Amino acid sequence: MGQYTKEKQSEKKSLYNNEKRNLPIIVFDNVEKKYHNGVKAIKNLSFQIEEGEFVFLMGSSGAGKSTLIKLILLEETPTSGKIYVNAHNVSKIKKTQVQRYRRSIGVFFQDFRLLEKKTVFQNVAFAMEITGASKKEITEKVNITLSLMGLSGKKNDYPGQLSGGEQQRVALARAIVNGPDILIADEPTGNLDPENSAEIMSLLKMINAYGTTVLVATHEQQMAEEMGMRVIMLNHGHDISKEKTEENVTRKEEVTENQEQTTQIDSPDASNEPVQVEVPVSAINFNASSVADDKNQIVTDSETEVDENA
Ligand code: ADP
């Protein structure tokens, strides 16, 4: 697995800025996760996600999606196999550095909780305050992020005064305000109507267009299909994406052979609708270099894996 860690000495300085390093940003190498009760939630799972990719993690309830996310967030440890995130073997990250590591990953959950007694601005600012960012930087970035989420007019409102869709956008703003390298969205549209779901997916696409790698866990197959992005399909902890692709190819071949039997279905692709952005695109860089110094300290030389012979 040396290919995922070599060159990192020379890359350390640019690890968290937005320079392309042509390394996969997430690598699972033959990972297994067995819980104490004997349930194997993840089995022999190998995949990689390239920097800047938008990937759906799909599978029905119990397929292992949450476990996979917990493994990335270091909330669980694999029973065997290796996980690399941002060119680091995550098992080498020290306990004292876990919080910093987690801050390089924005997380957006279905059951997000906003702080009811804080305004929209304060809710988003809070995510930056805990990183020790300056007041000036917080004001600047929170305003830009709220603007991108179409929430400028709501910044002094309290969560109770917002619609479900608006609250979801505040949660999304909070997840990205620190300029994460990776955004993980777990069932991001679970509680939303189709219109708000399309809006959230559109915003995720926009965030991805700025360079953030996006991983969306969902059981909603239609949503993933409409977006046309790569899918990692889990079934009882196995990746069955390849089998699915082969199935689709076979089906497509069958359809081509029997063209007169096919029916054209116009699928409304609301995700292509433009999102109203109130600031110029060039005004924001989600992989903000101003937080790079802090993040660069996540893994020190002594902890990085030198595995050139692997
Ligand atoms: P999904 O998110 O796709 O619904 P999960 O990762 O939550 O799937 O669960 C995968 C499997 O692991 C399920 O069989 C589930 O019951 C089991 N599981 C999840 N968390 C735990 C746990 N903490 N202890 C024991 N078994 C668990």
Distance CA 179, CA 244 (A): 34
At 64, is the secondary structure helix, strand, or coil?
Answer: coil
What is the 106 CA–ligand 1 centroid distance (Å)?
22
Task: State which of 42, 67, 71, 234 you would mutate to test the pocket of ligand 1, scoring each by most atoms of that ligand within 8 A of its C-beta.
Answer: 67
pLDDT tens profile 61-72: 899 999 999 999
pLDDT of 226:
82
Which of 14-23, 50-59, 214-223 is predicted with the least confidence, judged by mean pLDDT?
14-23
Tens-place pLDDT, residues 145-179 = 999 999 999 999 999 999 988 999 999 999 999 99
Helix (H, G, I), strand (E, B) or coil at 251: helix
pLDDT tens column, 87-144: 889 999 999 999 889 989 999 987 778 999 999 999 999 999 988 899 999 999 999 9
Pocket of ligand 1 (CB under 6 A): 35, 37, 39, 41, 59, 61-67
pLDDT band for position 39 (cuts 50, 70, 90):
very high
Look at ligand 1, atom 16, and give the residue with the nearest C-alpha.
62
H-state helical runs in the chain: 8-11, 65-72, 98-103, 120-129, 135-148, 164-176, 194-209, 221-227, 241-257, 292-296
Report how far ligand 1's centroid is from the alpha carbon of 196 (Å). 28
Tell me how far apart the alpha carbons of residues 277 and 261 are, in angstroms, rounded to a whole number: 43
pTM equals 0.77
Q: What is the mean pLDDT of residues 187-208?
A: 88
